[in-house]
Amino acid sequence: MSDELAHDLLWQADGHLTDVALTALADGEVALLSPAAASHAEECDACARRLGDAALFSTLLSEELAPVLLPVREPRQLPVAALLAAFALAIAGSLPVLIELPRWLLDVPRAVLVHTPLALRVAASFLKVISAAGPSLLLVWVTTTLVLAGFGLWVARSGTRQVEWKEAHR
């Protein structure tokens, strides 16, 4: 099945191509033309000239129509109200954390004081092992230290939560 236009649509009575055929060619729709019509457009000077006009017209038309078909959008105003609402919601959502944060930060030094001796003892024993076994255990030591620090923070945090719970239910 061919997309070619009918013979009547391609050829004028005088043996040259129709405006329809030349416009299709100018728009790059070569498949719409029969091979004979396409080769005529290349060989015939008169049709080549008309093809040039058709191509120019096609370009001008699309340039003229582009602003009409694709209207330039008005630069939209910043949705200040929506942004403010979203901002307020975000603050409200993080309010519990923000309220808890200072108390938690105040509790950190106490937790560090409580847990540091244990951590130091563990670290000291690891240092002894490292000095005996060599630098290959350094990675293990660093990892363990980080895990211990994380565990200490976790304990401090859950401890704070328990105190709060007890205070709330007294």
- How many residues are there in the chain? 170
Nearer to Zn ion, 39 or 116 (CB): 39
Which positions lie near Zn ion, rule CB under 5 A?
16, 44, 46-47
Helical segments of the chain, H only: 7-10, 19-26, 35-43, 45-69, 80-133, 138-168
Q: For residues 5 and 47, which CB has a smaller minimum distance to Zn ion in the complex?
A: 47
**CB-CB contact of 144 with 100 (8 Å):** no
- We find the least distance from the C-beta atom of residue 23 to Zn ion, in angstroms, to be 15
Which are the contacts of 126, defined by CB distance < 8 A and separation ≥ 6?
137, 140, 141, 144, 145
> At its nearest, how many Å lie between Zn ion and the CB of residue 15?
7
Nearest to 10, CA basis, from 53, 48, 41: 41
Nearest distance, CB of residue 18 and Zn ion, angstroms: 10
When the beta carbons of 52 and 150 are compared against Zn ion, the nearer one is 52
Minimum distance of Zn ion from residue 48's CB (angstroms): 8
* CB nearer to Zn ion: pick between 16 and 157: 16
